[in-house]
Amino acid sequence: MSETTEFRTTTRHMLKRSRQYASQTLMGGLSGFESPIGLDRRDRIEALKTGDIGFVHSWDINTSVDGPGTRMTVFMSGCPLRCQYCQNPDTWKMRDGRPVYLEAMIKKVERYADLFKATGGGITFSGGESMMQPAFVSRVFRAAKEMGVHTCLDTSGFLNKNYTDEMIEDIDLCLLDVKSGDEETYHRVTGGVLAPTIEFGQRLARAGKKIWVRFVLVPGLTDSEENVENVARICETFGEAIEHIDVLGFHQLGRPKWHELRIPYPLEDAKGPSAALKARVTRQFEDHGFVVY
């Protein structure tokens, strides 16, 4: 937050003094991040629009999971889709995240900058859906690029129009979830529509950005030969931007979160794909000339 930015704050007597409040608000449940205290609702909304704060669920340091090298993956809160196989339903609502200052996030990236450069890693924004908070994410990416740090956006592309061409310039790599190849299946899987994903992938390609497509293979839901062929044809419209396609087999690791949140889980009895099914889908993509992992 700039030195000239001023926020209207609640009066001192309105702030709770308990240890629980300090833990939940000062650190936001996110070790190492400074979180705004005492901002009223209007100021939080304005700060969200400008990117002075972002609502964050959690963060992690990992290797070769959410992009190349050692990465800081930040899981943002809020998502407009309701994917049947979602692993993180606790990230659906933005209000369930913790507000984190832009400066705190940038300082965290700076702290790990040398590690990122040494390993070919960087920062990845995931979710939830990180494109729900485009100002915050893009400002962190801009700062990361100024440090020489690699940037990666993990997104469904559903909020395509939230991201301007200028914001796209600071993306080095996009992990683009192409959840289905036809509208009917896409709506069944996510509750949303497919077109924005296709358009965002094409915008990334025109901007010269690299794409790793992610496709979740769910038996009985996304596995039909026709659906997979349609996904492959969509990917062909991204041209040489695609470095590879990840075929991710469905699993039940997210089921306990649905139960804990008391959300009816639509894939309660679903099984992961067999080796034969994954091989068939891999072969379909390879027949279109794609490298498949």
Q: Which CATH number characterizes residue 71's domain?
A: 3.20.20.70
Q: Is residue 146 included in any domain, yes or no?
A: yes
Q: Is residue 200 included in any domain, yes or no?
A: yes
Per-residue pLDDT at 38: 64
* DSSP-H helix ranges across the chain: 19-21, 41-50, 102-119, 134-147, 165-168, 183-190, 195-206, 225-236, 255-260, 275-286
Please report which confidence band the pLDDT of residue 5 belongs to, taking 50, 70 and 90 as the band edges.
Answer: very low
Closest CA to 237 of 161, 286, 290: 290
Q: Is residue 122 included in any domain, yes or no?
A: yes
Q: Is residue 13 included in any domain, yes or no?
A: no
How far is 290 from 283, CA to CA, in rounded Å?
A: 9
Q: Is residue 110 included in any domain, yes or no?
A: yes
Structure tokens that stand for 131 in this block: 């494109």
Q: Is residue 131 included in any domain, yes or no?
A: yes
Domain that holds residue 174: 53-286
DSSP assignment letter at 22: I
Q: Which of 1-10, 104-113, 117-126, 231-240 has the lowest mean pLDDT?
A: 1-10
Q: Is residue 37 included in any domain, yes or no?
A: no
Q: Which of 11-15, 50-54, 86-90, 231-235 has the lowest mean pLDDT?
A: 11-15
Per-residue pLDDT at 31: 61
Global confidence as pTM: 0.87
Q: Is residue 176 included in any domain, yes or no?
A: yes
Reported as a single tens digit per residue, the pLDDT across 137-151 is 999 999 999 999 999
Reported as a single tens digit per residue, the pLDDT across 201-251 is 999 999 999 999 999 999 999 999 999 999 999 999 999 999 999 999 999
How far is 234 from 284, CA to CA, in rounded Å?
A: 13
Domain tally, the chain: 1
